[in-house]
């Protein structure tokens, strides 16, 4: 089922057994509804055509002659609210994929045919569906703004043919593989790093950004409080940034195995701080290099690959440790809603879309059960 977009955006979605198209026409919010998707699109196009024939355009924004002008205006207004990685990705989409091919068109003459020909051309040149999809998202959001301004009657991207899905399939580790990975760790720090990923499902940047002040050992229920992550920014190096979304700001409970290994890591840090002439790990990161500095994400990925090789486990992406946590927890009895909260997904729909194939059953203490199995004799 297609998802409904936020207010202010054109969208097509299915609800209550009907297809709905909603968005702005001549600066006003409109919606049509039909049983079939194709009929809903036809009805929407008829509504747009009627609006254009009646000259209903209402100018509420600046005059922007071309698609290129519109893209620059949209980017200048929106970029200040984005994460740096989002801003960089959208700027590249504009300069490399959209403006060179569509930027010359008058903004009020961009058609569905233009959009479909453009996106098919991207795919024909060997660009991936995900790259093409990101460029389409940028163009759609820009044209949404033009509709709200009254520069165009409707957004042609909305009714253009959808792109194929090519989401990378997760490759979670099995319980046996995860246990072998932890057994192959050469230090408490390395073991703790991947124990957290494989049982709690933290994102890579969230794990690398952990500081001792984020871990509350003294509480009745020891926990991690997540609010920031570590991210590499071109030209700026490693930076602390807010976690991905509001739902990613979360508290994650720890069990005995987590606490024991983390306390050993902390004791090692204290020893190093007493021994080193130069201040060691002044910012209090949990996972650091031999020099006491936080791990660069690329080096962390290399360490993951080396660990898999030592464990004799097939090569999977570093992010698949997070997928492994979700899969092992669901197979161990965790309800889907609890896994959603643990992972920090913004919606349970995301969790179901990714992990809906995994059989889930009701059970208590699922995280502790999975962790105990990973540390069981013979693991």
> How far, in Å, CA of 327 to CA of 359, rounded?
9
25 close to 153: Cβ distance less than 8 angstroms: yes
Tokens read off for 319: 């992010």
pLDDT at 225 over 70: yes
* Fold of the 11-159 domain: DNA polymerase; domain 1 (1.10.150)
Burial class (CB in 10 A: 0-12, 13-18, 19+), 232: middle
Q: Please tell me whether residue 325 adopts helix, strand or coil conformation.
A: helix
pLDDT tens string 259-276? 999 999 999 999 998 888
pLDDT at 44: 76
Mean pLDDT of the chain: 83
Q: Which of 126-140, 220-234, 292-306 ranks highest by mean pLDDT?
A: 292-306
Tokens read off for 239: 């930076």
pTM assigned to the model: 0.61
Half-sphere exposure of 222 (CA within 13 A, CB side): 15
- From the list 309, 261, 313, 306, the residue with the least C-alpha distance to 287 is 261
Torsion angle, CA of 333/337/342/344, rounded to 10 degrees?
A: 150
pLDDT at 372 over 90: no
State mean pLDDT over 124-142.
90
pLDDT at 360: 43
Give one DSSP letter per residue of 55-106, joined into a string. T-----S----BHHHHHHHHHHHHGGGS-HHHHHHHHHIIIIIIHHHHTTSB
pLDDT tens string 1-19? 344 444 444 577 788 888 8
> How far, in Å, CA of 81 to CA of 69, rounded?
20
Where do the H-state alpha helices sit in the chain?
A: 37-53, 67-78, 84-92, 99-102, 112-124, 129-149, 156-159, 175-183, 188-200, 204-208, 256-275, 297-311, 320-331, 336-343, 348-355, 366-374
pLDDT tens string 158-193? 888 888 765 566 788 999 999 999 999 999 999 999
Q: What is the b/e burial string over 15-33, where b = at least 16 CB atoms within 10 angstroms of the residue's CB?
A: eeeebbbbbbbbbeebebe
Q: Choose between 204 and 8: higher pLDDT.
A: 204
What's the length of the chain?
379
Neighbours of 212 (CB within 10 A): 15
* Fold of the 175-374 domain: hpI Integrase; Chain A (1.10.443)
Domain borders along the chain are: 11-159, 175-374
Longest dimension (CA), the chain: 80
Q: Which residues, 6 or more positions from 324, have their beta carbon under 8 angstroms from its beta carbon?
A: 172, 173, 178, 197, 198
């Amino acid at each position: 089922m297609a998802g409904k977009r936020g207010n202010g955006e054109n969208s097509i979605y299915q609800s209550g057994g009907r297809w709905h198209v909603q968005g702005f026409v001549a600066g006003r919010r409109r919606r049509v509804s039909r049983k079939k998707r194709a009929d809903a699109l036809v009805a929407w196009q008829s509504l747009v055509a009627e609006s254009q024939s009646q000259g209903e355009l209402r100018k509420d924004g600046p005059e922007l002659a071309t698609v290129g002008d519109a893209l620059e205006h949209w980017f200048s207004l929106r970029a200040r609210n984005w994460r740096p990685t989002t801003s960089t990705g959208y700027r590249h989409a504009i300069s490399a994929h959209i403006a060179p091919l569509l930027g010359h068109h008058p903004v009020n003459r961009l058609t569905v045919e233009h959009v479909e020909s453009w996106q098919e051309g991207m795919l024909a040149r060997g660009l991936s569906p995900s790259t093409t999809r990101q460029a389409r998202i940028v163009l759609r959001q820009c044209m949404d703004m033009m509709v709200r301004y009254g520069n165009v009657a409707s957004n042609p991207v909305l009714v253009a043919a959808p792109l194929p899905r090519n989401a990378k399939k997760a490759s979670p580790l099995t319980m046996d593989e995860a246990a072998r990975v932890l057994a192959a760790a050469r230090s408490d720090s390395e073991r703790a790093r991947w124990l957290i990923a494989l049982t709690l499902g933290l994102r890579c940047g969230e794990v690398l950004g952990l500081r001792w002040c984020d871990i509350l050992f003294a509480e009745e229920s020891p926990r991690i409080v997540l609010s920031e992550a570590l991210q590499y920014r071109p030209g700026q190096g490693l930076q602390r940034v807010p976690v991905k979304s509001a739902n990613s700001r979360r508290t994650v409970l720890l069990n005995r195995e987590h606490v024991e290994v983390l306390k050993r890591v902390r004791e090692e840090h204290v020893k190093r701080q007493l021994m080193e002439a130069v201040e060691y790990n002044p910012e209090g990161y949990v996972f650091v290099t031999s020099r006491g500095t936080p791990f660069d994400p690329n080096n962390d990925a290399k360490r993951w690959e080396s660990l898999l090789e030592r464990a004799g486990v097939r090569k999977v992406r570093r992010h698949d440790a997070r997928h492994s946590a979700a899969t092992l927890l669901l197979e161990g009895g965790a309800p889907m809603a609890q896994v959603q909260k643990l992972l920090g997904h913004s919606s349970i729909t995301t969790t179901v879309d990714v992990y809906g194939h995994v059989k889930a059953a009701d059970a208590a203490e699922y995280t502790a059960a999975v962790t105990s199995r990973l540390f069981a004799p013979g693991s």
